[in-house]
Amino acid sequence: MIVAGLGKRIAMLAVLCAAFVQVACGESGEELRIYSSGPSVNAGEGEDVRAFQLALRHEGDEAGPFKLKLVVLESAVAQTGAPAEASIKRNARRAAADERAIAYLGEGTSGPTTVSMPITNRAGLLHICPSCSYVGLTRKEGALPGHPQRLYPTGRRHFLHLSPNDHLQAAALVEYAQRENVDRVAILHDDQVWGKGLARLVAAAAPRAGISLTGPPHVPRGDIRGEARRAADAGAGALMTFGNADIGIVNLMRRAARAAPGVLIFAGDSQANSGSASALKDVGHRFRIVGPPPPDPRNALAARFADRYRETYGTTPFPNTFIAYEAMRRVIQAARAAGERADERAAIISAIFAAPEQNTVAGRYRFTRNGDSTLTRFGGYRATGGKLVFDRLLGAGGRAAVVPDGTQ
C-alpha cells in the first residue's frame, strides 16, 4: 500500500512538473527562450519568423550548457492594420515574466514597439526590432515629445534595431526625389509615431537639398484625391506619403496617383513589401519606394542565406528577411559570448552591445552605444507589374545626416 501510494505520488509529481514548472525539471531547466511578437506571424509562417527559425537551425541552438528556443507570439491586429495595444502589452509582459526569457524580438514596426519597450526595459530584457527605424526609439533629435526618455523607465539601454534610422531614411527619400528631378513636394502622414516622425524629418531635410514644400506636413484633409490635386496645382512634382503598412494606406496612395497623373508618389520602407506592390499594380509606375537595399552580390554570407531560404521555403527572401535573420543570429552570438551566464539578462545585453563590427548577411556593421546599427544604405524601388523592382542604391547623400554616435 505504501509503495503503491508512493508510486502514485511520484507519477503525480512528474505530471505537475511537466505541466507547470518546466524550468526546474531536468533538462528543460537548461532551456532559454527567445520571444517573437508581431502582427503578421500567421501561426509561425511570417517572413521574420521564418528567418528566426532558419537562424536557429543553421547557426545552432546551443549556447554553453543551454538550449535556445523560439517562442512565437502573435499580436492581434485592429481594423487599422496595426496591432491592438492590449495584445502588444500582453505579449511583452508574458516574455518579461518568463525567467528563462533572454530576448524579445518585436513588434515588427516602430509604433507598436514604443508600447512594448517600457515593459521589456523594466524587466531588463534585451529587445530587438529588426526593421524599426523611428528615431525616437534611440535618439532625442528628431523624435516626438517624450521620446526616447519614457521608453527607458530604468534609464538603462536594452533596445537595438538593425535598419538605418529615419534620419538616414529621410535623407534617402530626398536623394531619390533629387534623382527624379523633383524640386517641390507635398508631404502627408497618418499622424502615427513612425509616419509623423519621418514626415517631420523629410520636411527638415528637403529645403537643405534645394527642394521646396507646398506646406507643412499634415494628415490628409477629406478625400485624398483633393489633396493630390492641390499638390499638383501648387506645382509639386511629388507627393510623399508616410503611414503604416495596411491596405487602407495603400488604397489612399492609389487614389492619389489616379487623381494627379503628373505627380510621382514617394513612400517609405513600410510599403517596401510584396503586398503593397501587388495592390499598386495598376499605378505602380508612378511610385518610388525606399526600403532596405538588396544584398550586395559580393556578400557570400548573404548568398548562402538566400540559397538556404529558397531550399527551405521555396521562395526568395525579401531584403527585410536578411535583417530578421541577422537579428536572431546576434542573439545567438550574444548568448554564446555570455557562456555560463547566458541565463542572465544583463550578461546578454552587455555581450550584444560589446560585439565588434563584423561582416553579416545584412552587411558590415556594429551597434552604437544608443542601440542604432551603423548600416546606412537604402534601396530605391518601383512597383512594376505588381512586384517590387530594385531601381537604385541610395545613401551616399545620407551619410552626412548621421548623428554622432552617443546616447541622447
Residue 255 cell numbers, joined: 487614389
pLDDT value for 4: 43
Question: What pLDDT is attached to residue 355?
Answer: 97
Averaged pLDDT, 36-43: 64
- HSE, CB side, 13 Å, CA atoms: give it for residue 273: 17
Q: Which amino acid, residue 117?
A: M
Confidence at 114, pLDDT banded by 50, 70, 90 = very high
**pLDDT > 90: what percent of the chain?**
76
Does residue 81 carry a pLDDT above 60? Answer: no
270: cell is: 513600410
Average pLDDT score, the chain:
87
φ, ψ of residue 288 to 5 degrees: the values are -130, 120
What is the rounded distance in angstroms from the CA atom of residue 70 to the CA atom of residue 239? 41
Secondary structure percentages of the chain, helix, strand, coil, to 5: 45, 20, 35
Q: pLDDT tens digit string along 371-386?
A: 999 999 999 999 998 8
Reference 240, options 275, 209, 267; nearest CA is 267
- pLDDT tens-place string over residues 191-235: 999 999 999 999 999 999 999 999 999 999 888 999 999 999 999
Tell me what percent of the residues of the chain surpass a pLDDT of 70. Answer: 86
> Beta-carbon neighbour count of residue 29 at 10 Å?
13
Return the DSSP state at 309. H
With 50 as the cut, is the pLDDT of residue 66 above it?
Answer: yes
CA nearest neighbour of 39 among 275, 303, 340, 387? 275
Ranges of H-type helices in 239-385: 247-259, 274-279, 300-313, 319-338, 345-354
**Tens-digit pLDDT profile for residues 92-101:** 999 999 999 9
Domains, the chain, with CATH or none: 24-163+299-365 (3.40.50.2300), 166-291+377-401 (3.40.50.2300)
pLDDT band at 45 (very low <50, low <70, confident <90, very high): very low
Question: Per-residue pLDDT averaged across 346-358, rounded?
Answer: 98
Model-level pTM greater than 0.85? yes
Residue 351: predicted pLDDT: 98
pLDDT score, position 251: 85
Question: What confidence score (pLDDT) does residue 179 get?
Answer: 97
Joined grid coordinates for residue 42: 500567421
Mean pLDDT of 293-314: 96
Question: CB of 277 within 8 A of CB of 247?
Answer: no
Cα–Cα dist 378/171, whole Å: 10
Q: Inter-axis angle of helices 110-122 and 85-97, to 10 degrees? A: 30
User: What is residue 401's predicted lDDT score, i.e. its pLDDT?
Assistant: 33
Strands, E assignment, 109-163? 126-128, 159-160
Average pLDDT over residues 27-33: 74
Q: What is the pLDDT of residues 145-173, one digit of tens each?
A: 999 999 999 999 999 999 999 999 999 99
Q: Which long-range contacts does 214-222 make (Cβ < 8 Å, 24+ apart)?
A: 214/184, 214/185, 214/186, 215/186, 216/187, 217/187, 217/188, 217/189, 218/187, 218/188, 218/189, 219/188, 219/189, 219/190, 219/191, 220/188, 220/252
Q: How far apart are CA 133 and CA 141, in angstroms?
A: 13
